[in-house]
């Protein structure tokens, strides 16, 4: 299944020709979504999917020959797994930039990381707990989509729109939404894909835009973290103020950390950029407090609807 997401490069016809050159190994379903944004394309595809599992493959992803088989095996053996993903490596149009290794996770490249508590180490096999996975090569059990639809799920994201709007977050959101449903999110190093990166996305200007774009998603993702792990029964405003306080404390610790001074002396780019990212996230929350509060209410309402549907199914 291929979704032409408001493309201007003759995607549909090129896909048809390529499929014919491959002797059409399976039926090719060509769909069109005129609204630019990955989330819209996903919704269009999911509306037409007819099987138990889906795998999200972006146009610059190249799955290993065993990828689908390995993923299917894990999902069939573990019915509580709602979402599954793995690591990737990069291929480049042109030479690899000297800075790429430090920023590779911004490009969904490398082993996926355990970010909870600031560990930033490769994820262990199996259930990833409070972590999230990137969308490249992500398996999603169809029951996740179906149950979210029944509960009236509406994404807080539209997804990236080419190179214009780099704000993503829909992949993280889906991981959290699956956990609201009671599913587990798993990581497996047996899955592997290559992520091909075009030359235009390997400039320092694009890198920096990509790095800071995620600061605008943190407020929406915090709404899911609050619903999953926040204090039950606490007021939305109070929980949000607590999140602001924790972010402020974290920012202060980063600003006075000896590692920041060492990075500045060594002309290390990424450490001060991380500080700037934390500040941008906090600024987004403070300047848009009422809107952010509406995100928290939105996700708590989704959680309530999910609980209500589960109760109705048991009766």
**Domain residue spans in the chain?**
50-202, 217-315
CATH number assigned to the domain covering 50-202: 3.90.550.10
Residue-wise pLDDT tens digits, 44-95: 998 888 899 999 999 899 999 999 999 999 999 999 999 999 999 999 999 9
Could you tell me what percent of the chain has a pLDDT over 70? 95
The tokens for 189 are: 């190093």
155 within 8 A of 122, measured Cβ to Cβ? no
- Look-up of token digits 């409070």: 130
- The candidate with the shortest Cα–Cα distance to 123, out of 62, 191, 22, 217, is 191
pLDDT at 310 over 80: no
- Phi/psi-derived region of residue 118, left when phi > 0, alpha when psi is between -120 and 50, beta in every other case: left
The tokens for 160 are: 């990236």
| pLDDT value of residue 163 | 57
Helix, strand, or coil here: 30? strand
- The candidate with the shortest Cα–Cα distance to 250, out of 216, 282, 204, 205, is 282
92 within 8 A of 202, measured Cβ to Cβ? yes
Q: Ranked by mean pLDDT, which of 33-42, 110-119, 122-131 comes out on top?
A: 122-131
The tokens for 289 are: 């407090």
Between the alpha carbon of residue 291 and those of residues 78, 227, 229, 273, 294, the distances in Å are 38, 16, 21, 26, 5
Report DSSP letters for 123-171, one per residue.
PPSEE-TT----STTEEEEHHHHHHHHHTT---S----BTTTB----HH
Residue-wise pLDDT tens digits, 219-232: 999 999 999 998 87
- DSSP, res 108: T
Between the alpha carbon of residue 29 and those of residues 3, 12, 37, 45, 64, the distances in Å are 8, 10, 19, 9, 22
274 within 8 A of 254, measured Cβ to Cβ? yes
| pLDDT value of residue 164 | 58
pLDDT at 311 over 70: no
The tokens for 46 are: 């999911």
Lowest mean pLDDT among 176-190, 200-214, 267-281: 267-281
- Alpha carbon 77 to its chain centroid, in Å, reads 24
**263-283 mean pLDDT:** 86
Residue-wise pLDDT tens digits, 173-201: 999 999 999 999 999 999 999 999 999 99
Q: How far apart are CA 116 and CA 142, in angstroms?
A: 27
Mean pLDDT value across the chain = 91
Sign of CA dihedral 278, 169, 269, 137: positive
């Amino acid at each position: 299944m291929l979704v032409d997401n408001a493309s201007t490069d003759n995607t549909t016809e090129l896909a048809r020709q390529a499929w014919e050159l491959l002797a059409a190994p399976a039926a090719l379903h060509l769909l069109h979504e005129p609204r630019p944004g990955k989330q819209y394309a996903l919704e269009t595809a999911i509306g037409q999917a007819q099987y138990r599992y889906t795998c999200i493959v972006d146009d610059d992803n190249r799955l290993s020959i065993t990828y689908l088989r390995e993923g299917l095996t894990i999902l069939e053996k573990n019915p509580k797994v709602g979402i599954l993903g793995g690591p990737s490596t990069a291929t480049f149009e042109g030479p690899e930039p000297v800075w790429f290794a430090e920023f590779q996770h911004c490009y969904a490249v490398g082993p996926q990381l355990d970010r909870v508590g600031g560990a930033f180490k490769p994820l262990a096999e199996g259930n990833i707990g409070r972590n999230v996975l990137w969308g490249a090569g992500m398996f999603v059990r169809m029951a996740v989509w179906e149950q979210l639809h029944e509960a009236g799920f509406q994404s807080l994201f539209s997804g990236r729109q080419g190179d214009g709007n780099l704000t993503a977050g829909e992949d993280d959101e889906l991981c959290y939404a699956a956990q609201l449903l009671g599913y587990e999110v798993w990581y497996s190093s047996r899955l592997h894909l290559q992520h091909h990166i075009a030359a235009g996305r390997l400039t320092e200007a694009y890198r920096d835009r990509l790095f800071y774009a995620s600061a605008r998603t943190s407020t929406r993702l915090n709404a899911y973290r609050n619903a999953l792990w926040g204090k039950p029964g606490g007021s939305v405003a109070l929980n949000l103020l607590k999140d602001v306080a924790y972010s402020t404390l974290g920012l202060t610790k980063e600003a006075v950390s000896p590692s920041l001074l060492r990075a500045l002396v060594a002309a290390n780019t990424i450490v001060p950029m991380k500080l700037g990212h934390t500040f941008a996230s906090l600024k987004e929350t403070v300047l848009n407090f009422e809107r952010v509060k509406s995100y928290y209410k939105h996700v708590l309402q989704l959680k309530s609807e999910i609980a209500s549907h589960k109760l109705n199914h048991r009766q």
